[in-house]
Structure 1
Amino acid sequence: MRGIILGAAAVVVTGLYLHNASWPADPDNEFAVLAHRGVHQTYPSEGLTRDACTATRIHPPTHAFIENTLPSMREAFRLGADVVEIDIHPTTDGEFAVFHDWTLDCRTNGQGVTREQTMAYLKTLDAGYGYTADGGRTYPLRGTGVGAIPTLAEVLEAFPDRRFQINIKSNDPSETDRLAAYFLARPHLRAERVSFFGGDRPIRRLREVEPRLAAASKGQMKACLKDYMLTGWTGHVPESCQGTVLMAPEGIRTILWGWPDRFLERMQRAGTEVWAVGGIKRQVQSVEGIDTPEAVARLPRCWRGGVQTDRIEVVAEALAEHRRRLADCR
């Protein structure tokens, strides 16, 4: 009897392994690089809080690019980005401003809540005004970002054949309706080349209004990862993982059923984009990018999904080498 039980268990384990083995899978995804905030000024994350003014704690600058500006995006694409992540806020005159912070006081010479301003006012500000690496003794970018806050239309028109991930900064579902109207009035912007990330409420509303568009929220990503870990061994992709965008943190990637190729193939069939990211920054509930050549080297050798980075200027060559190596994986 014991032998029968052990034999049956061996059959089950073997079947489970083969059903979730990565090596037989052959996803036909195209490798892609997402540059979070384009080429931007970085800062240490130690002791960081959600309300911290990151412009006042940047590393000593190695370049003059300012996040969410056209030169920053152009440089990211030049360095090999396939997608650039940008942040948006509605303005009081019907535009969407491409800018990160909820308020203007940290990065610019303006004041007030970003979405309570006109785009005309935002255009008068210096987007590089508040950046300092030495506690305020010097401001190396001051004066370089005057008029540099662009509208969403200006970004998409400047790069008509490029892809963007748009971060909706509020948790207001009505903002989704404003976005839908914005794209409807400007069909030349081609909404299908953007994906969206934001709070649960606006993303839920976006999926109701435009289910064809790729969209994800932090809550949905967490639900997808949890649900897949519980049921992915069956090969079934849960509803929470259907038609969305998923970030796969380095610390949990290897315990995802079928990682890497079988997992990627399943998500591809479900219409979901997968981006490999670094560690989880729990203090601010966000993730790190793949930001060093060593982190790129830890990717699966034939990884054909996406990679998100905060330091494309640092890892551009390593990512280009990974892309070249994929030719030998077919």
Structure 2
Amino acid sequence: MIRLRKIFTNKIVLALLLLIAFIYLNNTSLLAKPRTGSPFLLAHRGESQTFHMENLKNDTCTAERIYPPEHPYLENTIPSMEAAIKDGADMIEFDVHITKDEQFAVFHDWTLDCRTNVKGRSNDYTMAELKKVDIGYGYTPDNGQTYPFRGKGIGLMPSLTEVLERFPNQAFLIHVKSDDPREGELLADVLGKLSPERLSLLTLYGGDQPVASARDKLPDLRIMSMATLKSCLIPYLAIGWTGYTPAACRHTEIHMPDKLAPFLWGWPDKFLNRMDHADVRVITVRGNGSEFSSGFDQPEDLKALPQGYNAGIWTNRIDLIGPLYNKKL
């Protein structure tokens, strides 16, 4: 009886050792297919004025806390996108809000009060009226002593259609700021007029409801929302050690904080190869996920990335990061 128990125990130990060996061999990047090429650079809001993020809240007016300007560009404008492309951006993120006449204005904030010389929300104005707004009015690096962009932002707020027409071959990450499913439907109506080739360069992210409603009308549109992230990553964390990639991941985008990425099965190379196979774009952001706008903004930040990393990098300073990868045109 004792001998049988010992044999049984030994078999359990052997099975556990074999399982551990399988998990290691199936997820170590040492045995992964080599990855080549340079990283995919995603410029947040184009080339923009950066700001300190201490005690940042959802309603913080970031235009009132910018650093002393190092360049003349304002976020989410066509000149800022042109500059980002020149500095090596593979993709540009921008934000959209619905207007009174049901167009989409490219602008970050929920209200116009912080950055501009008018009050209210974008849907209080037509697109033509928003063209008359000074979007540089509220920027100050010194608590209101000077306003270096005041009077220089009139006419700079573009519409979504203008951006897509101005950059017909550029990849964009479009952030729908609301959680209104109707906005997703209206966005799908706009994007549905594009060719399949043009649509393939676009990704929509934001609230669960508008993203889902847009995907319902445009099944080929790449998307990301909190719902799609959970549907992909929670099952992957549970059984990804087997090499299985959940079907919910397919043709989506994942933003992964660099502090949390090492907890993914197969990180970095095995994981990235699996995501490539599932047509998932992986973008690594800085930090632990508490602030998804944190980017790799200084050369020393890049030391946090795995050696040879070549997937997506989120940056607020494409002017500093792009040239490091010889992407400056």
| 1:140 maps onto 2:148 in alignment | yes
| 1:75 maps onto 2:74 in alignment | no
The alignment partner of 2:200 has SS state of: helix
CA contact (8 A) 1:157 1:189 kept: no
CA contact (8 A) 1:69 1:148 kept: yes
One of 23, 30, 49 as aligned partner of 1:16: 23
One of 277, 280, 287 as aligned partner of 1:279: 287
Partner of 1:182: 190
Partner of 1:55: 63
One of 307, 311, 314 as aligned partner of 1:301: 307
Letter in 2 for 1:23: L
Distance 1:258 1:281, change over 3 A: closer
CA contact (8 A) 2:139 2:149 kept: yes
CA contact (8 A) 2:285 2:292 kept: no
Q: Shift of the alpha carbon at 1:185?
A: 4.5
Specify every segment of 5 or more residues in structure 2 that has no aligned partner in the other structure, as ranges: 1-5
Q: Shift of the alpha carbon at 1:238?
A: 2.1
Letter in 1 for 2:121: V
Alpha-carbon displacement from aligned partner over 1:65-119 (angstroms, at most 9, x marks no partner)? 1000011111111111000001111212232111111111110112111122100
Partner of 1:314: 320
| 1:168 maps onto 2:176 in alignment | yes
| 1:267 maps onto 2:267 in alignment | no
Q: Shift of the alpha carbon at 1:291?
A: 1.5
CA contact (8 A) 2:192 2:218 kept: no
Quick one: percent identity of the two aligned structures? Answer: 43
CA contact (8 A) 1:216 1:244 kept: yes
CA contact (8 A) 1:70 1:155 kept: yes
The alignment partner of 1:221 has SS state of: helix
Letter in 2 for 1:320: N
Q: Shift of the alpha carbon at 1:10?
A: 2.2
Q: Shift of the alpha carbon at 1:138?
A: 0.6
Name the larger-Rg structure. Answer: 2
Alignment of 1:20-99 (within 5 A): 20-26=27-33, 31-99=39-107
Partner of 1:326: none
Q: Shift of the alpha carbon at 1:190?
A: 2.8
Q: Distance in 2 between matches of 1:51 and 1:205?
A: 27
Q: Distance in 1 between matches of 2:197 and 2:160?
A: 9
Q: Shift of the alpha carbon at 1:218?
A: 2.7
The alignment partner of 1:132 has SS state of: coil
Letter in 2 for 1:7: L
Q: Distance in 2 between matches of 1:221 and 1:206?
A: 16
TM-score of the aligned structures, taking structure 1 as reference length: 0.90
CA contact (8 A) 2:32 2:270 kept: yes
Q: Distance in 2 between matches of 1:9 and 1:185?
A: 55
Q: Distance in 2 between matches of 1:192 and 1:310?
A: 24
Q: Distance in 1 between matches of 2:148 and 2:326?
A: 31
CA contact (8 A) 2:105 2:159 kept: yes
CA contact (8 A) 2:286 2:294 kept: yes
CA contact (8 A) 2:187 2:214 kept: no
The alignment partner of 2:30 has SS state of: coil
Q: Distance in 1 between matches of 2:299 and 2:36?
A: 22
Q: Shift of the alpha carbon at 1:5?
A: 4.0
Q: Shift of the alpha carbon at 1:4?
A: 4.3
Q: Shift of the alpha carbon at 1:317?
A: 2.9
Partner of 1:292: 298
Alpha-carbon displacement from aligned partner over 1:24-83 (angstroms, at most 9, x marks no partner)? 333768631100111111111111110111111111111111000011111111111000
Question: RMSD of the TM alignment (CA)?
Answer: 2.2
Q: Distance in 2 between matches of 1:58 and 1:227?
A: 40
Q: Distance in 2 between matches of 1:142 and 1:151?
A: 21
Total equivalences in the alignment = 320
Distance 1:245 1:27, change over 3 A: farther
